[in-house]
Every structure is written in C-alpha cells, then in structure tokens.
C-alpha cells in the first residue's frame, strides 16, 4: 500500500501545532474539527500504531455532534417548537451535548439519569443549565435503563410540547457523524481499518457508512463490552458505561461490521491507564476498550495499513473509576495485562464470553429471533455502577 498522507510541510512541527482554530461565534462552532493523534510504541508493537480521533476535544465529547444535529433536524421538521423543552434519558455525554444544544437554540433541557452518574457530571450539567432528574430505584425487570425511560415518559406526558431525541432509534443520531467521517478522510487521506465502540450504534454507523463509500475494502471493527446484548450475547452485569447496552438499539449498522470484539472492564482499565502513561491522551471505558482492539488490529494488518480509532471522550470523568485504585481494587479490575490477542468464537451464540473475545460473524440479534428487549442486567454492582451500560 502506498501512503497518501500529505508530504511533510516546510514549516517546523512546532509552528504546525500552534496553528490556531478558527474563531467561533457560537459555542456550537467549537464542535468538530477534532485532532488526530498517532498512538504508537510503547503502547503498540514496534513499527505499528493507529490514529486516534480525539472526540474528547469537543466541548462535551463525541455526543455534541449528535445532540446539535438531532435538535436542528427536529426543529426543521417542526417536531421541536421554539423554546420547547428537551427531555432525554442519559448518563452523561449526550446530556452535555444537549445542554450545549439547549443553549445554542434556546431550549430548556431535562436529563433523566440514575445514581451511577458521576457527581462531577451531574454538577457540570446543572452548571450548563440542565435540570437533572435522578431515578432512585431500578425497575424490577428492566433495571435502571427502564426506570429512566419511564421517568422520561412521565415528564413527556406532563409536558405535551416536550421533545425526546430518543438516541437509540433516531436515525439523525447516525447522520450526525458524517462530519466526523469527512474529517477523518481529510486528515488521513486513506483509511484501511476503523475501530469504533458501540452503544446506541450512532457514531459507528454514521462514520463507517461514509468511509465505506470511499474505501470499499475498509475493515470495520466494532467494540462492545462483555455482558452487552447488542451483538447477540446475553445481558449480564456490566461496569462499563458508554459502550454496550441491554437493549437492541435500531441504530446499530450490523451489516457494516466485519468483526466485533467484546472487552471486559479490567482489560479496558489496563488499556486506558497504559495509554495515559504512554501518550497522555486517554479516556474511560470505551477509549480503553477501543485502544486495546485498535492496537491488536494494527499489529495484525500489514505495517502500511492505516488504522483509525475513535476515542469518544477524555479521561476527566473517570478519575473516580477507571483511574482510581480503590475503585478498581474493589471491582477487581487490576488483574494484570490482557492477553496479547482476543479469544475467538465462530458465532455470538457459541458461548458466553467474559474476557476479550472476537467474532467475525456479526448478526442483528432481533433479525436472528431474539426477544425484542433484553432485561437490563442487575447484579452485585447494580446499586453503584452496574448500571448496565446505558448509552451516554
Ligand atoms: C463515552 C462513550 N463512549 C462510547 C459511546 C458509544 O457511542 P454510540 O452511542 O454512538 O454508539 C458513548 C455513547 O453514549 C459514550 O458516551
């Protein structure tokens, strides 16, 4: 393969890194145009590496893109009237994006969450003017995710003008990420493999569909957490949030994936921490899981292959979890270095996986006859962070 990256600029590297971003007239103007960082040795094997798209450099995180887009489209279609309230169930990242969209377009924002939301996140949302409702009890069958949805329904019933973006099933949550794909193309020129986490399925479907149009041979690798139902495993207690789900979001672009990897929390913690120490650019559960898989993809493809990975947010909100030794010890997450390569199964139904495992058969569990919604995982962690991977 030949490189199509632009040839080196005559400017010294320091001058390039100081190139200022364009001035923004609105806070929404700060969204997008995120940087790309090379992740190489010592995190990766010698001579191998991947490009990380640092979505944590948006004001809130990756979901700023979708929040602004979903709100703009709903306004255009008359589904969201000027000044009407926005109500959504979220445990964080989308809430920050909606707060930004609320400020940008002039809508009050109510976020329904659960006790697993980090105090810092709840504080930030309130600071940005959002109303934060915390459900206090998990639904006996559907867990926290269901309890949150029911509270959203109650609020919507009381406010008929209110609008809920419904990030799991709203197709605008996919098209919102076309910009991210175009940025990657502009930054890298050619892309051979894309590694992306999957929660609602929005950014993986949005980015991969555009990239495939340009690079038909693109390898798309999805990253999920163990205990998530998205790719056909049974629901189980999960610590990791952001990626994974206990339902079957209709935004997941199953046909786009060549391969899915399930990663366990301890493996994501190892990778997030190793990244922090070696590259100073890291994030939380999803970044750790994506980095672990991207490192492996880069090691297995030819050295010239250009691998892009999406890092959805930064590390700040994870200082009390992923980066906290007491928390990690309590949850037995400091168990050592993950295996150099994933276990492999031929089909998601072959067995229940509890550590890093890959599968090249990617099927939509609903099309394969799964029940319409899995009960949310509950377990020893459910009262704290075992909130079963509500997308953020
Ligand atoms: C931190 C983080 N990582 C990954 C994801 C998964 O992204 P998506 O919902 O686009 O699949 C989310 C979604 O909420 C998230 O907040």
CATH of 63-158, one of 3.40.50.1010, 3.40.50.1100, 3.40.50.150, 3.40.190.10: 3.40.50.1100
Residue closest via CA to ligand 1's atom 14 equals 392
Residue closest via CA to ligand 1's atom 12 equals 242
176 lines ligand 1 (CB under 6 A): no
pLDDT score, position 345:
98
CA of 285 to the centre of ligand 1 (A): 10
65 lines ligand 1 (CB under 6 A): no
Kindly state the tokens that stand for 265. 């929390």
Separation CA 237–CA 353 (nearest Å): 13
Separation CA 92–CA 164 (nearest Å): 16
Could you tell me if 306 and 191 are in contact, meaning their C-beta atoms sit under 8 angstroms apart?
Answer: yes
CA of 391 to the centre of ligand 1 (A): 6
Element (H, E) at 195: strand 193-197
- Given the DSSP bridges, would you call strands 357-359 and 343-345 parallel, antiparallel or unpaired? parallel
Separation CA 114–CA 89 (nearest Å): 9
| pLDDT by position in tens, the chain (length 392) | 333 343 333 444 444 455 677 889 999 999 999 999 999 999 999 999 999 999 999 999 999 999 999 999 999 999 999 999 999 998 789 999 999 999 999 999 999 999 988 899 999 999 999 999 999 998 887 778 789 989 999 999 999 999 999 998 999 999 999 999 999 999 999 999 999 999 999 999 999 999 999 999 999 999 999 999 999 999 898 899 899 988 889 999 999 999 999 999 999 999 999 999 999 999 999 999 999 999 999 999 999 999 999 999 999 999 999 999 999 999 999 988 999 999 999 999 999 999 999 999 999 999 988 765 444 433 323 333 332 333 44
DSSP 201: S
Map out the domains of the chain as residue ranges.
16-59+173-359, 63-158
SS3 content of the chain, % helix, strand, coil (to 5): 35, 15, 50
CATH of 16-59+173-359, one of 3.40.140.80, 3.40.50.1100, 3.30.70.60, 1.10.3470.10: 3.40.50.1100
175 lines ligand 1 (CB under 6 A): no
198 lines ligand 1 (CB under 6 A): yes
242 lines ligand 1 (CB under 6 A): yes
CA of 200 to the centre of ligand 1 (A): 7
Whether 63-158 and 16-59+173-359 are alike in CATH topology: the answer is yes
313 lines ligand 1 (CB under 6 A): yes
Q: Mutation test of ligand 1: which of 113, 166, 178, 197 has the most ligand atoms closer than 8 Å to its C-beta?
A: 197
């Amino acid at each position: 393969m030949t490189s199509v990256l632009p040839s080196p600029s005559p400017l010294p590297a320091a001058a390039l890194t100081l190139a200022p971003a364009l001035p923004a007239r609105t806070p929404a103007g700060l969204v997008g145009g995120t940087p790309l960082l090379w992740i190489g040795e010592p995190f990766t094997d010698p001579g191998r590496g991947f490009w990380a798209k640092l979505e944590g450099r948006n004001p809130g995180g990756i979901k700023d893109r979708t929040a602004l887009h979903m709100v703009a489209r709903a306004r255009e279609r008359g589904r969201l009237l000027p000044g009407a309230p926005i109500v959504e169930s979220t445990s964080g990242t989308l809430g920050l994006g909606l707060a930004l969209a609320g400020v940008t377009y002039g809508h009050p924002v109510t976020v329904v969450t659960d006790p697993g939301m980090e105090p810092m996140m709840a504080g930030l949302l309130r600071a940005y003017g959002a109303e934060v409702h915390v459900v206090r009890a998990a639904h006996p069958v559907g867990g926290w995710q269901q309890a949150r949805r029911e509270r959203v329904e109650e609020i919507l019933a009381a406010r008929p003008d209110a609008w809920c973006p419904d990030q799991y099933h709203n197709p605008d949550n996919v098209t919102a990420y076309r910009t991210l794909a175009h940025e990657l193309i502009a930054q890298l020129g050619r892309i051979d493999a894309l590694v992306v986490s999957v929660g609602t399925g929005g950014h993986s479907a949005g980015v991969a569909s555009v990239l495939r149009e340009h690079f038909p041979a693109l390898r798309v690798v999805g990253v999920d957490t163990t205990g998530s139902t998205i790719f056909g495993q049974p629901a189980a207690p999960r610590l990791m949030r952001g990626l994974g789900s206990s339902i079957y979001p209709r935004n997941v672009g199953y046909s786009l994936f060549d391969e899915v990897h399930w990663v366990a929390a301890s493996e994501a913690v190892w990778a997030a921490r190793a990244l922090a120490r070696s590259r100073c650019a890291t994030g939380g559960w999803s970044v750790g899981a994506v980095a672990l898989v991207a490192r492996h993809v880069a090691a297995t493809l030819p050295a010239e292959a250009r691998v892009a990975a999406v890092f959805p947010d930064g590390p700040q909100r994870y200082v009390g979890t992923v980066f906290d030794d007491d928390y990690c010890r309590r949850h037995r997450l400091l168990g050592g270095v993950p295996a150099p390569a994933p276990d492999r199964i031929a089909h998601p139904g072959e067995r229940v996986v509890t550590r890093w495992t890959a599968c090249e058969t990617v099927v939509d569990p609903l099309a394969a006859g799964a029940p319409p919604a899995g009960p949310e995982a509950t377990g020893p962690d459910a009262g704290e962070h075992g909130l079963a991977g509500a997308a953020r």
